[in-house]
Chains A and B, each alone.
Chain A
């Protein structure tokens, strides 16, 4: 068998065509396939020797040739996936031979490190997102993992890992890289949108707004309070420091001031001349259940009120400038507004 230069050149073309057919028959059992291709090689060489026009123009595409061969030789019918995959692969290979496609591919390869960084960021963001309780979910540019230090550390760590994974030429866990890339690719859009939203509107205010200020018209509390404590009795002292009895108190509107105490059967019930119950006469006094009389008519707080300075202890006919503006010489309540 002589191998002239022309034969070698034709054989190379035949070899390329044969590779295409072989790829399309990749699903056949190996011995079947080897036998078939071995024979086909010599066959193709002959055809190539017959003319000068390219094999593809005479025989059709390798994929079509393989399909025809498969049908006429009664070979196991191809699983449609295998055929389609081989077809797609051969078309992709043809596409990659085009100059413009090759240029795009070179560009994509050159920006690959950027993708390694991006995918790390997207994955950390996704994990952060799903790690948060759903009502608190938000994403900052640096996914928040509790503290700023931890967040930056985890993000940088992920970037380093991802880039190392990217540089790894021979990889056993190719499916892992594929899964990572797929997840990052799918998550990229949503993560970008969410982060953008957070950057534009802030993380929480956007969702919840400012709380409405609480407005209370009236504190619905029973009773009278002084310094936060419930007032259970009121003792009045005159200017001389003497305790007064049965002093009736009114507010600025003339309403009787009652302490609003819970009912107590031992409390002395005071009536006015018309028989109306009076609840604003102080101090309240309490009865001795045994006798029905007031138990301690002079009881008072443990204080001694010193006499007031410059206030006559005896009512005068001429009004005093510093005393109460009211002409009535009622014993001045200390907190009186009028």
Chain B
């Protein structure tokens, strides 16, 4: 199955989870998602997701001047984002459990 299709549904949770560990700027978030194993995550998708979560009030943002390059816009999770992450994590885990059980019952594991 195409992983990019699966990613679409869970990218919000993934981004929130990454930022929950540590604040990050756009490309930093992309790299951390990729190093976590989500190789096919798209740059534009992450950037768009960050913007959407920020607009929805789930993230804070601040600009950090850089010596070597452009200013970096950092994103951090806020209270609303943490709540969203907790709810999403719960439903994702329940969903993953269901899928795991289903696939095991079908004898595919």
Contact = CB atoms under 8 A, between A and B. Distances in A.
Interface of A: 1-2, 7, 36, 39-43, 45-47, 49-50, 58-59, 65-66, 68-75
17 contacts: A42-B70, A43-B25, A43-B47, A43-B73, A45-B70, A46-B25, A46-B72, A47-B43, A49-B69, A58-B43, A59-B43, A59-B44, A68-B45, A72-B45, A73-B55, A74-B48, A74-B55
B81 to A, nearest CB: 16
B49 interface: yes
B73 A42 contact: yes
Contact of B27 (A46, A66, A69, A75): A46
Nearest to A65: B44
Contacts of A72: 11, 42, 44-49, 52
A-B pairs, 6 with minimum CB distance: A72-B48, A73-B48, A68-B44, A69-B44, A42-B70, A72-B45
Give the secondary structure class of A's interface.
Answer: helix
Interface string B42-78: 1111111101100100000000011111111100000
B47 A45 contact: no
A46 B49 CA distance: 18
A43 B68 contact: no
B70 A1 contact: yes
Interface of B: 11, 25-27, 42-49, 51-52, 55, 65-73
Nearest to A48: B69
Given A43-B47, A45-B70, A47-B27, 19 more contacts: A2-B67, A39-B73, A42-B71, A42-B73, A43-B26, A46-B69, A49-B69, A65-B43, A65-B44, A66-B44, A69-B44, A69-B45, A70-B48, A71-B45, A72-B47, A72-B48, A72-B52, A73-B47, A74-B48
Contacts of B69: 1, 7, 45-46, 49
A2 B69 CA distance: 7
A18 to B, nearest CB: 12
Given A43-B26, A68-B44, A73 B66 contact: no
Given A2-B68, A43-B26, A73 B73 contact: no
Contacts of B73: 39, 42-43
A68 B70 contact: no
Contacts of A7: 69
A72 B33 CA distance: 16
A1 B49 CA distance: 28
Given A39-B73, A42-B72, A69 B67 contact: no
B48 A68 contact: yes
Contacts of B11: 72
Nearest to B61: A39
Contacts of B66: 1
A68 B26 contact: no
A69 B72 contact: no
A59 to B, nearest CB: 6
A270 B42 CA distance: 126
A66 B55 CA distance: 18
Given A70-B48, A72-B44, A72-B49, A1 B26 contact: no
Nearest to B65: A1
Nearest to B42: A68
A41 B43 CA distance: 13
A68 B55 CA distance: 17
Given A46-B26, A65-B43, A71 B70 contact: no
A90 to B, nearest CB: 16
